[in-house]
Structure formats: C-alpha cells, structure tokens
Amino acid sequence: MLGISKRFGSVQANYLVNLSVTAGEVVGLLGENGAGKSTLMNILYGLHRPDAGAIFLDGVQIDVSSPAVARVYGIGMVHQHFMLVQNHTVAENIALALSDAPAWNPVPFARAKIEEFGGRYGLKIDPAARISDLSAGEQQRVELLKALMGGAKWLVLDEPTSVLTPREADELFILLKRMTGEGHGIIFISHKLDEVLAITDRVVVLRHGRPAGECRTKDADQASLARLMIGRQIDKPSITNLTVPGDPVLEVSGLSSAGSRGPLTVNGASLTVRGGEIVGIAGISGNGQRELLETIAGSRPASAGTIRLCGTDITCYDVRARTAAGLAFVPEDRLHTGTVPSFSLVENAILRDAHRELFSRHGFLDNAKARERSERLISEYEVAAPDSDTPLRTLSGGNIQKFLLGRELDAAPKLLLAAHPTYGVDIAAAAVIHRVILERKSAGAAILLVSEDLDELLALSDRIGVMFRGELRVMFPREKVTRERIGLLMGGAPATSEELRC
C-alpha cells in the first residue's frame, strides 16, 4: 500500500500512509483509537475506496473494489466488530463466504468445510449454532474460519486476542506461526504491546492518520512503542486499594438463567458486591459471564434465584425499573446492545434517560439538555469526535466505549455492571476507563466487572470469581490468587478445598 489517503468529511482518516507485508511475515499495525488503522485495512479489504494512493500485489497494481474482489486476490480480514449475520447459523454464515459452495442447499457443504478446517487449525465450533447465541470469542472463531476457508493468503487480524484467554491467545500465536511458515502474510492490529512484541517481525505506527514510525520488533520495547503511538508518556492510574467496602449493594442468590443452546447458561450463581468494592469475574467466552450480567441487568429473564439491589428484591423488575433503582450496565456488545450506531452522539447520550423529566417534557425532548450532556461526556471522557452531531458509528471502538461508559456513569449509579470495558481500546483510552472505574469505586459504587484480560482483573478487583460451564465456582481475595491459577480454573481445573473456603 503506497501513499494511501482517505478523508471522511472534515476528518482526515489516512494521509500518505505506506504499508507492506511479505510472505511469511507478521507486521504489527499500532496506533491510538482513531489513528486510522481500521480505515487503512478497510481500504485493503475493499470496504472503502482510497482518495489517493495504490495497492500492489506481487509488484502489480490491483484495484480492490469490494471484499469479494479482495478475497479473489487472497486477502482476508477478521474485523474487531464481527461481520456476521446474527440470525443465521455458523454454517449459513460460512456458506455465504464460500465461492465454491453449491447454490442449492450449501449448508451441508459448509458444515463439512467447518469440520475440516476447524480440526486442521484447532478452531472448533458448532456449525448449527446461531450467531446471536455465540459469545464474542466464539464469533471470532467463525470469522477466522471464514477467512481461512475463503483462501486468504494475506490476512488482517483486528484485535484478535481481545476476547481470548491466555491459553487461547498462545494457541492463536502457534497457529499464526504455522500460517507464516506456510507462506501467509499477516497484518496484526493490537493494543496489547506485549503480544505485538511477541508475535510480530516489524511494527508500523500511525498517529492521527499519518505515519508516526516503523521499526523491527527486535529493536523495540513497550515504552518506545507507546511513545510512538501516543506521542507522550502514559501515566497509569493508581490501583492502590484505599477503599473500605461498605454495605452489600448487590446480592445474588442461587441465580439461574435459561439459554437457547442449553437448559442453563447460568446455573445457581451466588455472589455479593459491596459499596466501594470491585468484584471481577473471569472465564473463557461462552461460560455464562455475559448471561450473568444480562440477567442481573434485566435483559435476560431469571429462571431461578433472587437479585437484590440495596436490599430490594429486583428479580422481577424490568430494565427501566432497575435503571431507576441505581443499576448501570456497559454490555459486551457496545455497538448492537449498548448504543444505536446510526444515531448521533446527542441521541445516544440520552438513550437510557429520554423518558425522564430531565430530558423530556410533555412528550417532547429537550434537545438543549441532551446536547449539553453529550458535550460534557465528550469533554470529561476524552472522546475524540468532531462534534455532538457525529453519528456514533463513525467513532473508533475506544471512543465509543468511553462515551458509553460515561453515559452509564453520569447518573452516579449505585451498581455498575461492566463487561469487557477495555475490549479493543488503546492504552491511553484504557487508562481513562480504569481511572473513571476506580473513581466510581472510591465514591462508594459497587462494581461487577467481567473481563477476559486477567491482568486487568488482577489490577482492579478486590475479589475475583471464576465461571465455568455456567457455574460461579470460586471467589478469591485478589491477594490470594495468581494469573496462572485463574487460567487453569477457567479451563476446568478443579478447585482445591482451600480455594472453596475462600
């Protein structure tokens, strides 16, 4: 890719960017949220047309006018936000991407391909599962299989480990090494600098859509890469635990929730979160963490058990009533559950509160107050956006996450449920998110945090639980557990009698 430039209205997303990758090489592409990484890769994959510049393959200029054309040239992409049809099954989604699938009844053909490639690359998935029922990690496997089965020689991976456990990430790296050994070229986008240093051969850094630097990975370290990305030193927020937990805010007892892929996705979970306390939940994607938060939030019905908020039984409350009682929820799927991508920031700022008298009078919205909130969130949470009228879908993932978190915290909730709050965000945005979470904790809020980033859980949590096959198995004080032990429990290792007494 030579001299690539792309503008969206007043925003210069890319300007004179060069990027190359050779067979058998892994190139890391780094930059803050909004630095232009995804735009550049969407141009490579045919989702956007460049305003200037050219793409060359084996020395010959090519015109990548669409993703279908990109696949013909052997270019595949696994997006940070998955490009899957939610109401279709895994096999149906795969069939849509296979050019050699029969036009009549392609599902059996796709199912056989899934089993073949899943076994070959260690990417097991149920072909009959509906995409909407899969966890984020499982959906990522579908995307990766789709690209590989489409014949991709040149593969773009956008935040591929954000929803993986350390063991799964290690398995992915083994797969990538195997692929590069077979002659694949890979562009690896990640905000996890340790992973970039471990897996890549070269690193290209963008800042504000422009080239900021390039280096051989062996000549770099985390500090030098961070300075290239941000242009300054990042000060991580203090995680010293000075808060003394108060009275119970959330009390969950014997909670179960039915799921479409089995009788129970949450099975008899019990936990307590006190004011001024962060309780972290670890687990491999698909083991019930998402369903646990959705059931507590009210977007999924409980089949058994009770949920109490500040002593009040809210098990039968709807979502609006739980919100009014002091519950805030940052869901796993920020684009399809937490926000409306086509709405402006002003409209998204009041999604959960549009019915309240603060923003609505006699059935009419108070646009001035809605705009005031939106502009305040943009300022307080350092959201990079041209203005409040910007459609939310045009923001980077990290800026969407900061805006969503700010909206949920704006009413000073008593309880915050946060699922993967730093998924796919850069180190500067993650520092902002961690800071505001710790500030809410210091102010007395109770926080239930689900994350597959074990370093994040160990840094922020006072206590950490592990979910496996729908059961909340153990709950440790942070100082009594290690990253390695949590990883083993996530994979199904039995808890010791001492751990069960924690």
**DSSP states along 397-418:** HHHHHHHHHHHHHTT--SEEEE
By percentage, how much of the chain surpasses pLDDT 70?
A: 93
Average of per-residue pLDDT across 273-291 = 90
Give CA–CA dist 124/193, Å, rounded: 28
- Statement: residue 292 has pLDDT above 60: yes
Token pair for 264: 């129970």
Strand locations in 63-209, DSSP E?
75-78, 154-158, 185-189, 202-207
Give the confidence band of 494 by pLDDT, cuts at 50, 70, 90.
Answer: confident
For 172-181, write each residue's pLDDT tens digit: 888 888 889 8
For 95-122, write each residue's pLDDT tens digit: 887 877 777 888 888 888 888 888 877 7
For 304-352, write each residue's pLDDT tens digit: 999 999 999 999 999 999 999 999 999 887 777 888 988 999 999 888 8
* Bigger pLDDT: 63 vs 243: 63
Q: Contact, 293 vs 329, CB < 8 A?
A: yes
- 479: number of Cβ within 10 Å: 8
Q: Please give the pLDDT value at position 463.
A: 93
Give the confidence band of 355 by pLDDT, cuts at 50, 70, 90.
Answer: confident
CA neighbor of 429 nearest in space, from 456, 409, 400: 400
CA neighbor of 16 nearest in space, from 41, 51, 65: 51
Q: Please give the pLDDT value at position 448.
A: 97
> If DSSP codes are grouped into helix, strand and coil, which group holds residue 398?
helix
b/e per residue, 153-172, with b = 16+ CB within 10 A?
bbbbbbbbbbbbbbebbeeb
Average of per-residue pLDDT across 14-37 = 91
Q: Please give the pLDDT value at position 255.
A: 95
Average of per-residue pLDDT across 387-391 = 89
For 231-276, write each residue's pLDDT tens digit: 665 555 555 555 688 899 999 999 999 876 556 789 999 999 999 9
Q: Contact, 440 vs 416, CB < 8 A?
A: yes
User: Per mean pLDDT, which range of 87-96, 235-244, 286-295, 393-402 is the poorest?
Assistant: 235-244
The DSSP result for 171-198, as a single string, is HHHHHHHHHHHTT-EEEEE-S-HHHHHH
Q: Please give the pLDDT value at position 242.
A: 59
Beta-bridge partners for 56: 61
Q: Please give the pLDDT value at position 140.
A: 78
For 141-193, write each residue's pLDDT tens digit: 888 888 888 888 999 998 887 666 666 678 788 888 888 988 999 999 988 88
- Statement: residue 14 has pLDDT above 90: yes
> If DSSP codes are grouped into helix, strand and coil, which group holds residue 476?
strand
Q: Please give the pLDDT value at position 86.
A: 85
Give CA–CA dist 17/36, Å, rounded: 10
Token pair for 266: 């949450």
Q: Please give the pLDDT value at position 445.
A: 94
Give the confidence band of 55 by pLDDT, cuts at 50, 70, 90.
Answer: very high
- 218: number of Cβ within 10 Å: 9
Give me the residue label for tokens 């006018």.
65
Q: Please give the pLDDT value at position 251.
A: 96
* Bigger pLDDT: 405 vs 11: 405
Q: Please give the pLDDT value at position 235.
A: 58
**Average pLDDT across the chain, whole number:** 86
For 416-437, write each residue's pLDDT tens digit: 999 988 876 777 778 888 988 9
DSSP-derived pairing of the beta strands 262-274 and 248-259 = antiparallel
Give CA–CA dist 388/400, Å, rounded: 13
Total number of residues shown for the chain: 502
For 457-476, write each residue's pLDDT tens digit: 988 999 999 998 889 988 88
* 433 CB-near residues (< 8 Å, 6+ apart): 401, 402, 405, 421, 422, 425
Q: Please give the pLDDT value at position 326.
A: 93
* 270 CB-near residues (< 8 Å, 6+ apart): 252, 253, 254, 255, 305, 472
Distances in Å between the Cα of 385 and the Cα atoms of 11, 236, 406 are 9, 23, 14
Token pair for 9: 């209205």
